[in-house]
Amino acid sequence: MNKKWEFYETDKQQIERIKKKFQISELIAQALVDRGITNDEEIKVFLRPTRNDFHDPFLMPDMEIAVREIIKAIKEKQKVIIYGDYDVDGITSITVLKKFLAQQDLLVDEYIPNRLEEGYGLNKSAIEEIAKCGYQLIITVDCGISSISEIDYANEFGMKVIVTDHHETLDELPNAVAVVDAKRKDSKYPFNMLAGVGVVFKLIQALSMRLELDEKEYLKYLDIVCIGTISDIVPLINENRVIAKLGLKLVERTNNVGLKALIKSSGYKCIDSNMVSFGIAPRINACGRMGYEHEALKLFLTDNVTTATSITDRLNKYNRNRQDTEKAIYDEAIKKIESEGCENSIILSSENWHHGVIGIVASKLTDMYHKPTILLCIEDDKAKGSGRSIPGFDLHEALCKSSQFLEKYGGHEMAVGKKKKKENINNFKKKFTQIVEQSNFKDLMPVIWIDKQVDLKELTLETVRQIKLLEPFGEGNKMPVFLCKNLKIDSIRTLSEGKHIKMTLKQENQVINAIGFNMGELAEDFLLEDKVDVVGYVEINEFNGTCQVQMNLKDIRKSY
């Protein structure tokens, strides 16, 4: 697929000013400007965040009310239950709030809906069960903002509900005693991109302030908050960056027995955002995807090393099962696309697909074809699905416009979940395709944003060490991308049965190794001695005790 290579607009005066004021290299100063971080206070927080850089939690809507209700529950020893999601964000949210409240002598229970049987969010059957058990207060984490009828149902049983969420709000807010969500239209909170666990962190910060606790009583949970934040792929800027940067330092020396076991099992030696995204998150998410949502929570809550090791072994097993299931669905989806074709979007359905995994496959297909993708698994008379979009196309808005064919949907711009009657699939597909056609979809071409054009001699170990100042990387703070032109291919081969490409590139007397993951098909387009231009980011490859700079390719084309 053709990709556009674009350079950020460079303000050389701004770069020079930042370089001098903050005593940093030109490379780091340019990276900051490229990411729109030019305000001195923003730069200070970005480069060296501290515990003093957290915003006032009471600026968040309904925070004062939520805190008052929870403190009342603590004093009266009310029967309280936390209702959370089954993904990493939800599991870490429950962990943090449950542990914090236990330290205030309030032992609370939790309810996690089974992804395969109940789906995302609150449901009336769960509300009934909770009411039968005599709970007086429900606190939602990472869900609840769109559960209008479910919360009304809880009110009928005389239960109070506090919603803490970070998803987009509907036109109507749920009738809860407090709705804590920075995305509310009336919010005065200075940052609205927190993960669900980030909102929980603000809640325990606010509780600590009103209970006059030492700040360490909420800061000590930053390791778990960090895991949930990075895993939920929220932009790692502003307060999320403070959480991630400080939290990773705590992860390195975490006292959480389960997290320790999981890190050890992942095989990652370096504690960074990469380890969280690819070592920790998939294993936790695999529990919910495969129907074992309580396992990851038990892991984070246990203080027993043997128990933690045993649970971690099971998480690894679930993750392997998830990978096998994912591959089978992916292969079948590719065959469907090749036989049926796809227009401006991809909408596929099957009765054999595991709906706990289709979201991952939808994401991969979106990346491959650069089209909005929705996959549906048919179960009896229902079609449950998951979708992923591309930058510039609002998938949630498209679902709103086709809501007459949907029983239930939610999410945000780039990822959604839905449930609809089987007979509505064709009508939904037709309507959705029309919406995409009427959008600016045809103008949306994959763009690789380049920070700087460099010669190979500039890509040194020192360059990589400078780049580390910008960590942790993630959504909203991608690794700097470099362009190198007129490089000669010194060697070229494929890895993993043709899946990846491995190259040695030369410029004068400088040589660099390069690897292109999932770019193996390009090996047939290039020959030894060809001159090429490449874009990618640089990293350190350690092998046999030797450290070398390696380029991780994002694209390659012949030089002209």
pLDDT tens per residue across span 302-341: 999 999 999 999 999 999 999 999 999 999 999 989 888 7
CA 419 to chain centre: 22
One domain for residues 267 and 368: no
Domain that holds residue 497: 448-558
Q: Do 223 and 358 share a domain, yes or no? A: no
First-residue to last-residue Cα distance in the chain: 19
Q: Is the predicted pLDDT of residue 412 greater than 60, yes or no? A: no
pLDDT tens-digit map of 64-122? 999 999 999 999 999 999 999 989 999 999 999 999 999 999 999 999 998 777 777 89
Task: Say what the pLDDT of residue 440 is.
Answer: 73
- pLDDT, one tens digit per residue, over 524-558 is 899 999 999 999 999 988 777 788 899 999 999 99
- Least reliable range by pLDDT among 82-86, 220-224, 292-296, 377-381: 377-381
Per-residue pLDDT, 414? 41
Same domain, residue pair 371 and 423: yes
User: What counts of helices (H) and strands (E) characterise the chain?
Assistant: 20, 18
Cα distances (Å, whole numbers) of residue 104 to 198, 212, 213, 224: 20, 12, 10, 19
The 10s digit of each residue's pLDDT in 473-522 is: 988 899 999 999 999 999 999 998 888 999 999 999 899 999 999 888 88
Name residues whose C-beta falls within 8 Å of residue 528's C-beta, 6 or more positions apart in sequence. 489, 490, 491, 492
One-letter amino acid for residue 406 of the chain: L
Q: Given 233, 253, 273, which residue is the final one in a domain? A: 253
165 within domain boundaries? yes
| Minimum mean pLDDT range among 10-24, 174-188, 403-417, 543-557 | 403-417
Long-range contacts of residues 541-545, Cβ cutoff 8 Å, at least 24 apart: 541/513
Same-domain check for residues 225 and 349 = no
Q: Do 234 and 374 fall into the same domain? A: no
Report the alpha-carbon distance of residue 551 to residue 26 in Å, rounded.
Answer: 20
Question: Domain for residue 8, yes or no?
Answer: no
Pairing mode, strands 482-495 and 531-543 = antiparallel
My answer on whether 295 and 374 are in the same domain is no
- Clarify whether residues 520 and 372 are in a common domain: no
Cβ distance 231 to 277 under 8 Å? yes
Domain's final residue, options 395, 417, 443: 443
Residues 236 and 133 in one domain: yes
3-class secondary structure, 157: coil
Per-residue pLDDT, averaged over 209-220, amounts to 97
Indicate whether 47 belongs to any domain: no
Instruction: Give percent of the chain above pLDDT 70.
Output: 96
Q: Tell me how far apart the alpha carbons of residues 230 and 475 are, in angstroms, rounded to a whole number.
A: 9
Q: Does 37 fall in a domain?
A: no
Q: How far apart are CA 191 and CA 201, in angstroms?
A: 14
The verdict on 190 and 314 lying in the same domain is no
How much is the pLDDT for 522?
86
Q: How many CA atoms lie within 13 A of 522 on its CB side?
A: 20
